[in-house]
Structure formats: structure tokens, C-alpha cells
Amino acid sequence: MQKAARKVFIASGGGHDLMTVSEGWEKYAREHASSLRVGDEWNRPRASGIDVKTSEAALPYLDRNVFEPFLGTCDIMLEIGPGGGRFTEVLLSKCKKLIAAETSATMLKLLRERFGDDVGIEYYLADGRGLGKVADDSVDAAFSYGVFVHLQHWDIYNYLAELQRVLKPGGKAIVQYSNTFSEMGWKRFRNAVPKQVNRHKIPGTFIVNTPELMREFIIRARLECVDVLTEIVRRDCIALIRKPAN
Ligand SMILES: C[S@@+](CC[C@H](N)C(=O)[O-])C[C@H]1O[C@@H](n2cnc3c(N)ncnc32)[C@H](O)[C@@H]1O
């Protein structure tokens, strides 16, 4: 291959039309921007193994059993991937300021339209590569739901390393991620085989993950894995993480 042609080939992802994570979610957000409220389509608790009777009961259930007991209240909280803001609503009452790090400009715009500029949210358009704008040791608590399930392992590790950087010593994080070998996780994995084989990662699909694998990434990012909950959202895992105190 000629030198110039090879350069273009590599820059374009080896000849494949590969989107970045940001581009993939931006495309999704634009396609769904006209729906009543983006994010409501993710609110199907039984499909993720949350044992509540109605979809309205899911967030209070998670808050009561996981978020509130572990996070309590604090000054500065960070949410990675707030999307339409269904968890943002719950997190706002737990902090004085919430940094909403979202990689899709359209999602961020919708989030701002929903919550406005007077509730203590800092709207942050993340580039998908990290949390560059957020200062070291500046955040009391972090939260991410519905995001790490889709990230590739390199992005998972990168974000954990970023959490290690931005959390204050002793700071806490809640991260939900996939549990491929749970009963529901495995069903999802098996059902995806026909559309996944012989493809690069399709945006929106669940990455393979396990409590053990994630624990390893958490430890290698120099964070402490306080607990991994597998029974609250039976398809997934929820990691309770802490940055060691100095
Ligand atoms: C499935 S949605 C979940 C949204 C919300 N957390 C919820 O559960 O309703 C994933 C969201 O994370 C955002 N996202 C994906 N990758 C991200 C990244 N690397 N950094 C920041 N946001 C990201 C997407 O743009 C999208 O808004």
C-alpha cells in the first residue's frame, strides 16, 4: 500500500467506518430527540431484574436500598452519562453541586432544558476520553448508571482511573455494569450472538463483564472495591467503590 493511502486507511480505523463513543451516542440522541422524554425507554425495571411492581417504583427502590445508604449527602457529585436525567433527578437532592459529564451534545442540551440553570448542575460536554476539565481530588461522590454496560474495557479502565484522579481521598462512587454470567445477563448475551458475530462492537450492545473482572479493573485503577451487588438489579452488577483515604 502507498504511504499516503496507508495513512488514510489507519486514520479511518483500518478501513472500517468506526464511530467514536461520542458520535454513536450523539446519533442516538438525535434520532430520539423528538420522543416525549429521552431516557424513558430505558425505564423497564423488570427487563433488568429489579423486583418492583411498576416502573415508577424502580428509582425509589434503588435509592432506598443502594444510593442513599452508600452515598448519603455531600457537596460535589459527578454523574457520568446522565442522558435524559432520570437518575440526575434523584442525585440532585444528595449534593450542593452536580457535575453532569455527558458525551452527547444533544443529550446535554435536553438535560439542560429539563433542569435549567438554577439547580446547581454544571453541564459538562465530555469528549469520551476522560474527565479532563474536572480537577484532581475535587469530587466527593460519583455515579454512573447505564453507561459502563456499553463501554469497552479500555474505556472502563480509563474512566476508573479518572475517578481515582478526581475523587477526594475517601470519596465514593457507584457504578452499574453488566454481569454476563448472571441468568439474565447470559440470556441477553446468547440472544445477541447472531447479530454480533464477525462485527466490530455495535453501539448500544452490552460489553462482557463480571464481578471478578470489574473488581480487577477497580483495584488496578488504585480504587477500593467496597462491595459488588448482584441481587438488586439481577441482570447487572452495582459496584460500590471508594478512593482510599491518604
Ligand atoms: C443508556 S444512556 C443512560 C443514561 C442515564 N444514565 C440513565 O440511566 O437513564 C447512556 C448515556 O451515557 C452517555 N455516555 C456514553 N458514553 C459516555 C462517556 N464515555 N462519557 C460520558 N457520557 C457517556 C450517552 O451519551 C447517554 O446519554
Q: How far is the CA of 191 from the centre of ligand 1 (A)?
A: 23
Q: How far is the CA of 146 from the centre of ligand 1 (A)?
A: 6
Instruction: Answer whether residue 112 is part of any domain.
Output: yes
Ligand 1 atom 6, closest CA: 82
Instruction: Answer whether residue 73 is part of any domain.
Output: yes
Q: pLDDT 10s digit of each residue in the chain, 246 long? A: 455 544 444 444 444 457 899 999 999 999 988 776 777 777 889 999 999 999 999 999 999 999 999 999 999 999 999 999 999 999 999 999 999 999 999 999 999 999 999 999 999 999 999 999 899 999 999 999 999 999 999 999 999 999 999 999 999 999 999 999 999 999 999 999 999 999 988 888 999 999 999 999 999 999 999 999 999 999 999 999 999 997
Give every strand in the sheet of 95-102, ordered side by side.
Answer: 121-125, 95-102, 74-80, 139-144, 167-178, 236-242, 224-229
Instruction: Answer whether residue 215 is part of any domain.
Output: yes
Ligand 1 atom 12, closest CA: 81
Cell of 68: 442513599
pLDDT of residue 12: 41
Instruction: Answer whether residue 2 is part of any domain.
Output: no
H-state helical runs in 57-143 = 58-62, 68-71, 88-92, 105-115
Q: Does the CB atom of residue 107 touch ligand 1 within 6 A?
A: yes
Instruction: Answer whether residue 37 is part of any domain.
Output: no
d(CA 30, CA 47) in angstroms, rounded, equals 25
pLDDT of residue 17: 56
CATH assignment at residue 178 = 3.40.50.150
Instruction: Answer whether residue 15 is part of any domain.
Output: no
**What phi and psi values does residue 227 have, to the nearest 5 degrees?**
-165, 160
Q: How far is the CA of 2 from the centre of ligand 1 (A)?
A: 40
Ligand 1: nearest atom to the Cα of 159: 19
Q: Does the CB atom of residue 42 touch ligand 1 within 6 A?
A: yes
pLDDT of residue 204: 85
Instruction: Answer whether residue 98 is part of any domain.
Output: yes
Range of the domain at 66: 49-242
Q: Does the CB atom of residue 156 touch ligand 1 within 6 A?
A: no
Q: Tell me the pTM.
A: 0.92
Instruction: Answer whether residue 10 is part of any domain.
Output: no
Q: Does the CB atom of residue 103 touch ligand 1 within 6 A?
A: yes
pLDDT of residue 34: 79
Q: Give, for ligand 1, the residue of 67, 90, 103, 151 to mutate: max count of ligand atoms closer than 8 Å to Cβ.
A: 103
**How many distinct structural domains can be found in the chain?**
1
pLDDT of residue 187: 97
